Structure 1
Amino acid sequence: MKKWRRRLFKTFIFGAVAVLLLLVTGLIYQQVSTRQDQKTFIPPGKLYSIHGDNMHLYTGGQGDATVVLASGWGTADPYVDYYPLYEKLAPYTKFAVYDRFGYGYSDMTDKKRDVDTVADELHELLEISGQKPPYVLVGHSLGSLETLRFAQKYPDEVQGIVMLDGGSPEYYANDTDDIASVIGGFMNQFRIKTGLFRLTLQSNAVVEASNANRNGLTFVPDELKKIDTTALLLNYGNANTVDELREMTANAKVVVDNKKPFPFPLTILTADYFGASEPIWDKTQAEFTSWSKQSKQITIKDTEHYIHQYHPDLVANEILELVKK
Structure 2
Amino acid sequence: MKKWRKRFVKFLIFDLVIVLLLLSTGLIYQQVGAREDAKILVPPGKLYKVHGDNMHLYTGGEGDVTVVLASGWGTANPYVDYYPLYEKLAPNTKFAVYDRFGYGYSDRTDKKRDVDTVADELHELLEVSGQKPPYVLVGHSLGSLETLRFAQKYPDEVQGIVMIDGGSPEHYANDTSDTASVIGGFMNQFRIKTGLLRLSLQSDAVVEASNANRNELKLVPDNLKKLDTTALLHNYGNANTVDELREMSANAKVVVDNKKPFPFPLTILTADYFGASEPEWDKTQAEFTSWSEHSKHVTVKDTEHYIHQYHPDLVANEILELVKK
TM over 0.5: yes
2:131 is aligned to 131
How far does residue 40 in structure 1 lie from its aligned partner after superposition?
A: 1.5
1:18 is aligned to 18
Partner SS, residue 108 of structure 1: coil
Structure 2 residue 32 is the aligned partner of structure 1 residue 60: no
Partner SS, residue 149 of structure 2: helix
CA distance, structure 2, for counterparts of residue 221 and residue 117 of structure 1: 34
Structure 2 residue 253 is the aligned partner of structure 1 residue 253: yes
**CA displacement 1:37-76 (0-9 Å, x = unmatched):** 1012100000000111000000000111000000000000
Partner SS, residue 314 of structure 1: helix
CA distance, structure 1, for counterparts of residue 40 and residue 295 of structure 2: 43
Structure 2 residue 209 is the aligned partner of structure 1 residue 188: no
| Identity between Structure 1 and Structure 2 (%) | 86
Partner SS, residue 91 of structure 1: coil
Structure 2 residue 31 is the aligned partner of structure 1 residue 31: yes
CA distance, structure 2, for counterparts of residue 5 and residue 110 of structure 1: 51
How far does residue 248 in structure 1 lie from its aligned partner after superposition?
A: 0.1
How far does residue 36 in structure 1 lie from its aligned partner after superposition?
A: 1.1
2:49 is aligned to 49
1:277 is aligned to 277
How far does residue 23 in structure 1 lie from its aligned partner after superposition?
A: 0.4
After superposition, where does 1:151-170 map in structure 2 within 5 Å?
151-170=151-170
> What is the TM-score with the length of structure 1 in the denominator?
1.00
- List alignment gaps of at least 5 residues for structure 1: none
2:86 is aligned to 86
Which letter maps to 1:152? Q
Which letter maps to 2:212? A
CA distance, structure 1, for counterparts of residue 136 and residue 89 of structure 2: 12
CA distance, structure 1, for counterparts of residue 4 and residue 195 of structure 2: 36
Partner SS, residue 76 of structure 1: coil
Runs of 4+, deviation exceeding 2 Å:
none
2:324 is aligned to 324
**CA displacement 1:111-152 (0-9 Å, x = unmatched):** 000000000000000000000000000000000000000000
CA distance, structure 1, for counterparts of residue 41 and residue 169 of structure 2: 34
**CA displacement 1:194-226 (0-9 Å, x = unmatched):** 000000000000000101100010110000000
Which letter maps to 2:273? Y
Structure 2 residue 299 is the aligned partner of structure 1 residue 299: yes
Which letter maps to 1:187? M
**CA displacement 1:70-112 (0-9 Å, x = unmatched):** 0000000000000000000000000000000000000000000
CA distance, structure 2, for counterparts of residue 194 and residue 82 of structure 1: 31
Partner SS, residue 198 of structure 2: helix
CA distance, structure 1, for counterparts of residue 36 and residue 237 of structure 2: 19
Of the structure 1 ranges 84-93 and 1-10, higher mean CA displacement relative to structure 2 is found in 1-10
How far does residue 165 in structure 1 lie from its aligned partner after superposition?
A: 0.2
After superposition, where does 1:112-131 map in structure 2 within 5 Å?
112-131=112-131
CA distance, structure 1, for counterparts of residue 54 and residue 89 of structure 2: 26
> What is the TM-score with the length of structure 2 in the denominator?
1.00
How far does residue 159 in structure 1 lie from its aligned partner after superposition?
A: 0.1
Which letter maps to 1:30? Q
Which letter maps to 1:217? L
Partner SS, residue 268 of structure 1: strand
1:290 is aligned to 290
**CA displacement 1:221-264 (0-9 Å, x = unmatched):** 00000000000000000000000000000000000000000000
